A = this chain, B = another copy of it.
Amino acid sequence: MARRTAKVKVIPLGGLNEIGKNMMAFEYKDDIIVVDCGMSFPEDDMLGIDIVIPDITYLIKNKDKVRGIVLTHGHEDHIGALPYVLKRLNVPIYGTKLTLGLVENKLKEHKLVSSVQTNIVKPGDTIKLGNYKVEFMKTSHSIADAVCLAIHTPVGVIVHTGDFKIDFTPIDGEPIDFHRLAELGKKGVLLLLADSTNVERPGYTMSERTVGVTFENIFRNATQRIIVATFASNVHRVQQIFDAAHKFNRKVSVSGRSMVNVVNVAMELGYLKVANDILIDINDINKYPDHEIVVITTGSQGEPMSALSRMASSEHRKLEIHPGDLVILSATPIPGNEKTVARVVNQLFEKGANVIYEALADVHVSGHACQEELKMMHALTKPKFFIPVHGEYRHLRQHGKLAESLGMPKENIFTIETGQVVEISKDHARVAGSVPAGKILVDGLGVGDVGNIVLRDRKHLSEDGLMVVVVTITKENGHVVSGPDIISRGFVYVRESEVLMEEARKVVKNALQVCESNGIREWAVLKSSIKDSLRGFLYEKTKRSPMILPIIMEV
């Protein structure tokens, strides 16, 4: 009887109705397991924010139940929040070798290595976590060593795809584990959670190997230096650059902190196979003729401080762009980065480089499944219930429609968002309330201390700057003994606006005199009188509304 009403709660803590900060919890009786623990980048209106992490209030509240965090792969949107989460919730971590290699780097930075228990797994492994058995299966993605999961619960099997694509000719030789997925599907999958990132794209994502072919064609005809920018974590891409360099007798140098990091970790762990003597120090590139050099660098998203950006703006200490250098941007701009990427491309062209980017050649493929691949995943696993994950609402919605088009009943598809809980038994599933969830903003050392009021102020300051008005009055009778002094920042260029500032001072002075002659002494009234008079005056003169900060000092 108890068995028949057994239920698993699916608790998305991030990644649904948003891009990034992927995190999904499953709760069965006294056991909670968590899949992934990612960060996301701040929205445009989150001024000054470094990164965004999931709200784990629910996990903290149920601390004793949490058996561990299982990682699908080593991208930031799947592991980036780990250091912050582990500081509050120290549980074991499970992941493949490369994934944990990348995690380790983070733990070191946050001085957490000794306190966190990490456990290496490999595709094919099954681990027991409380009442769950978690099975790791090989998959393909734009990072090596990615896995998808079969979570065996007392209620049924849950398949979580992680991020995936179907690549029949992957660089590491093994495609996604079709056979095991098919076997699971045949036995019966209760619930599928699947990556929705590319659901808007028809057809198939091209194989990673096609990029290698493009590299070879480009390298074959290149007569000068070649610089390739790509995501550091895309080890297979990096491997193909090394391979093409080797084929055409070029030495390879690596630039950019994260690229150096990843190349080191990947070589150490055996994920990157590099021919003898091919790797040279960036300090030595000028010892070779241009046609014998390839530089692999970060900065494919035009990030302002990245190695490629520094090369483009002549701020790179080791490498100067020469006319004729061939620069390949082996990546697609992430939505929001189009302009920064374009800026770097323009600068490189201005320096006389030839630049090859996605608009011009097939130098990049996506790491995510397109529609036909998603259909394959649904067809293989034949799930009873489906929750689309990893995407904005439009992606989740389209993925739901895709599932419907394959014959799944509408009522078995749950297009939910972060924080909404779905409760699943053998035969039923329903949305069952919600848990606290949202965006925790990280700014410097502060985690969650910047909220709406601070952001609103930053926005206001960013648009029209500020004006500080200081006046000193006497304790006895409120008579002004110094000021009003006015200081502005981010409003107008003061030297050219002396008249305006002098007039503003007079406006404040008048307002204060009116107050004094009416016997008004309350600071709150004085302050709003200063604010109101100045705001009106400035708006009339400039159609701008700087933040006005009246400060009253008493002596």
Q: Point out the residue from B398, B482, B487, B492 that lies within 8 Å of A454, measured CB to CB.
A: B492
A465 to B455, CA, bound (A): 9
Q: Assess whether A48 is in contact with B464, with CB atoms less than 8 Å apart.
A: yes
Say yes or no for A276: interface residue by CB 8 A criterion: no
Say yes or no for A104: interface residue by CB 8 A criterion: no
Say yes or no for A450: interface residue by CB 8 A criterion: yes
Q: Assess whether A462 is in contact with B465, with CB atoms less than 8 Å apart.
A: no
Q: Assess whether B470 is in contact with A465, with CB atoms less than 8 Å apart.
A: no
A476 to B200, CA, bound (A): 74
Say yes or no for A282: interface residue by CB 8 A criterion: no
A464 to B445, CA, bound (A): 12
Q: Fill in one digit per residue for A101-145: 1 if any B CB lies within 8 Å of its CB, else 0.
A: 000000000000000000000000000000000000000000000
Could you say which interface size class chain A belongs to?
A: 35 or more
- Report if A394-B549 is in contact (Cβ < 8 Å); known contacts: A360-B200, A461-B465, A461-B466: no
Say yes or no for A338: interface residue by CB 8 A criterion: yes
- Report if A346-B492 is in contact (Cβ < 8 Å); known contacts: A335-B338, A446-B544, A465-B48: no
Q: Assess whether A555 is in contact with B481, with CB atoms less than 8 Å apart.
A: yes
Q: Assess whether B482 is in contact with A555, with CB atoms less than 8 Å apart.
A: yes
Q: Fill in one digit per residue for A391-410: 1 if any B CB lies within 8 Å of its CB, else 0.
A: 01110011000000000000
Q: Assess whether A470 is in contact with B544, with CB atoms less than 8 Å apart.
A: no
* Shortest Cβ distance from A492 into B: residue: B449
Say yes or no for A537: interface residue by CB 8 A criterion: no
- Report if A201-B359 is in contact (Cβ < 8 Å); known contacts: A349-B397, A468-B551: yes
For residue A412, which residues in chain B have a CB less than 8 angstroms away from its CB? Answer: none
Q: Point out the residue from B338, B454, B497 that lies within 8 Å of A493, measured CB to CB.
A: B454
Q: Assess whether B336 is in contact with A339, with CB atoms less than 8 Å apart.
A: yes
Q: Fill in one digit per residue for A427-449: 1 if any B CB lies within 8 Å of its CB, else 0.
A: 00000000000000001111001
Question: Chain A: interface secondary structure?
Answer: mixed
A29 to B217, CA, bound (A): 52
Q: Assess whether B542 is in contact with A48, with CB atoms less than 8 Å apart.
A: no
For residue A349, which residues in chain B have a CB less than 8 angstroms away from its CB? Answer: 393-394, 397
Q: Assess whether B445 is in contact with A461, with CB atoms less than 8 Å apart.
A: no
For residue A458, which residues in chain B have a CB less than 8 angstroms away from its CB? Answer: 461-463, 465, 490
Q: Assess whether A335 is in contact with B346, with CB atoms less than 8 Å apart.
A: no
Q: Point out the residue from B43, B338, B459, B555 that lies within 8 Å of A336, measured CB to CB.
A: B338
Q: Assess whether B487 is in contact with A549, with CB atoms less than 8 Å apart.
A: yes
Q: Assess whether A44 is in contact with B555, with CB atoms less than 8 Å apart.
A: no
Q: Which of A62-120 contact B (CB under 8 A)?
A: none
Q: Assess whether B346 is in contact with A393, with CB atoms less than 8 Å apart.
A: yes
Q: Assess whether B454 is in contact with A465, with CB atoms less than 8 Å apart.
A: yes
Say yes or no for A547: interface residue by CB 8 A criterion: yes
Q: Assess whether A450 is in contact with B493, with CB atoms less than 8 Å apart.
A: yes
How far, in Å, is A451 (CB) from chain B's closest CB? Answer: 5
Q: Fill in one digit per residue for A20-56: 1 if any B CB lies within 8 Å of its CB, else 0.
A: 0000000000000000000000011001100000000
5 extra interchain contacts, Cβ-Cβ under 8 A, other than A443-B544, A461-B489, A551-B551?
A335-B339, A336-B338, A461-B462, A468-B468, A487-B549
